[in-house]
Structure 1
Amino acid sequence: MIAVIRTGIARGGIELRQTFTNATDLWGYFFPTVLLLGTIFFMRDAHVPGTEFSLGASTLPSALGMGLAFGGLIMVSQHLIVDREDGTLLRAKATPNGMSGYLIGKTVLVGGMALIAFLLQLIPGLFLVEGLRLDLAGWLTLLWLVPLALVATMPIGAVIGSVIENPRNMGIVMLPLIGLIAISGIFYPITSMPGWLHPVAQVFPVYWLGLGMRSAFLPDALAAVELTHSWRHLEMFGVLGLWAVLGLLLAPTLLRRMARRESGSAVAARRERILTTVGR
């Protein structure tokens, strides 16, 4: 088992390094960063309702939490779908302990990509807006929140990737996720939204990750504009923990089922479908 873990970590490390030499991956790192920082820049003179605090400074931590959720949910599912499409999963299945090494490698890859994107947005963002703080309590919050964010979202991303076979069907996931971001208080305080949306947003990780990041970076006085006027760390840990448990229960079963269905004929059929579509 130790050899499998080492192999998986090494594989993930190699794939992570390759993202710095791939134009598509570099675009995936820098385009969202530029888009977010541009949005923050134009929001810098707006204020959180009822305060003199910059709305841009409040939005940056929220967007960092959103980015972790997006990375865990979408990147994992996209990698699974693409690797199933091109036969990578089939090759892993045919190798002793190949699937275990593959999953460990993807965990390292996606976790590393999410953390790199996090830092790319955070570091310049700290110079772009005023009012953010990161004291000892904030560091301690990040130490448990960031790993929990990945554990709560990556298995769910694996579940999504195991049930969606065609990359074109990712819109089924993207559209609801965009709607969820809109109601989760990422770009504007959730207390300014209709009350009936509050319980809906609180079911999902996006709201809690945004709230957790705000609690790490914003002054405690800003908790006054949150639901219940507090950072709600206990509830945050509980909801994210429930999502982690749900994902870890569902993902292994669905991934094993997906792996059993993989065969040379299935890969060939997908390639034929792609060629037929391109030919049209």
Structure 2
Amino acid sequence: MNIVVLVKYVPDATADRAFEADNTVDRVNVPGLLSELDEYAVEQSLQIKEKRADEEIIVKALTVGPAEAEQAVRKALQMGADEGFHVVDDAIAGSDAVATSLVLAEAIKKIGPVDLVVGGLASTDAGLSVVPAMLAERLGLPQVTQAAVVETQGDQVRIKRDGDAATEVIGGTLPLVLSVTDQSGEARYPSFKGIMAAKKKPLETWSLADLGIDAASVGAGASWTAVDTITARPAKTAGEIVKDEDGSGAKALAEFLASKKFI
């Protein structure tokens, strides 16, 4: 079984994130890392491999991004993935989810016969949650998304998905596209052995030309969506302190909550 797990290099949420002049995210001068939500996708891919140890299962990590995005693949390899693939090309900069899904789909086709494509719930920078569905459409595969629990047996995949009012159980037959949530299981930390072993694992780099993609079909010019304006987050202000010296604290608190429409 071949599993391709999608890993994205995103700006560190704890760093001072910035944007380029064209309103795209600065992914070069801002510290980045493997998207936390994609770590759960790596974890579930590795768990499937471990639970089916009697089968030959290869986990392949795939990313699209600038040169620094290699770090996301390296992290997946350190966690236990077997092979890495990185699509890097200046023309990709500014691509939205639609254009990115095109690059991912062509990369997956080039990787070869794939039984399972696994992604996170969303990326921690854009948070759109649409790439798995777009990939399924481009690859002509069924999809089971937002899995909190993943079970596999043979060519069958069954997931549990938590909704607002109920938990759904959905099944599918391989090959398919799967996305998992942060409730699917704690992602492992790379061990020292894993970090050292990752240095010897193959990591292949491709350009758009290697995938047969016309540069005009990706990038900001080909994207269906764009960021028009950016507004900086307001600076933190001091909170309001309510003193309950005369027994009126509860009333003041209720009035405050009502003014903010919390009650």
Normalising to structure 2: TM-score of the pair? 0.27
Normalising to structure 1: TM-score of the pair? 0.26
Structure with bigger RCO (C-alpha 8 Å, 6+ apart):
1
Q: Name the larger-Rg structure.
A: 2
